[in-house]
């Protein structure tokens, strides 16, 4: 990542198996970036996220999952355990990345950028809980930020607009 990042596509991350993954690979796509957890009351949202991915992937949409253990220690597993859980419990086939921090000094640079570019309620930048969502346009800019309780299904209309 460069200090002067201009879009979500300017960042790199690691996949669940530790391989480097430049987000520029998703340039030109519409993306929903989500911080995830396997032991959260909102974990069933994985099902809705997978359904969105399957519904729109052929039109240039992708879900990008970023596990984080910062909220109630609800993602305690290793990256391998997370991968197995997502695949066996919810049939997740969308890209998942290695576990990261989304808040604090050690927050992943992507999340530092997302929060600065699109603060939440009352202008607060911090991520409040698991399954906070950022909808990214094809240009890598943030189109919308959603609360953790916003269901994947309820963002479908916004995704449709960006894919049109």
Does residue 123 register a pLDDT over 70?
A: no
As assigned by CATH, the class of the 8-163 domain is: alpha beta
Mean pLDDT of the chain: 93
What confidence tens digit (pLDDT) does each residue in 57-68 have?
999 999 999 999
32, 40, 49, 136: the active-site residue: 40
Its pTM stands at: 0.94
Note every long-range contact of 40-45, with CB atoms under 8 Å and residues 24 or more positions apart, other chains counting. 40/71, 40/72, 40/74, 40/75, 40/129, 40/130, 40/131, 42/129, 42/130, 42/131, 42/148, 42/149, 43/74, 43/130, 45/131, 45/151, 45/152
Mean pLDDT calculated for residue range 78-97 = 95
Q: Is 86 a catalytic residue?
A: no
């Amino acid at each position: 990542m460069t200090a002067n990042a201009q879009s979500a596509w300017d960042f790199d991350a690691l996949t669940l198996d530790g391989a480097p993954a430049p987000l520029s690979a998703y340039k030109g796509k519409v993306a929903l970036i989500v911080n995830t957890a396997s032991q959260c009351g909102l974990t069933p949202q994985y099902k809705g996220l997978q359904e969105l991915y399957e519904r729109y992937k052929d039109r240039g949409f992708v879900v990008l999952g970023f596990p984080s253990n910062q909220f109630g220690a609800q993602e305690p597993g290793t990256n391998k355990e997370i991968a197995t859980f997502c695949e066996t419990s919810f049939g997740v086939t969308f890209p998942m990345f290695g576990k990261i921090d989304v808040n604090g000094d050690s927050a992943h640079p992507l999340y530092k950028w997302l929060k600065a570019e699109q603060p939440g309620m009352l202008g607060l930048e911090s991520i409040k809980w698991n399954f906070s969502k950022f909808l990214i346009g094809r240009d890598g800019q943030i189109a919308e930020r959603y609360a953790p309780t916003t269901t994947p299904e309820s963002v479908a209309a916004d995704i449709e607009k960006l894919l049109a």
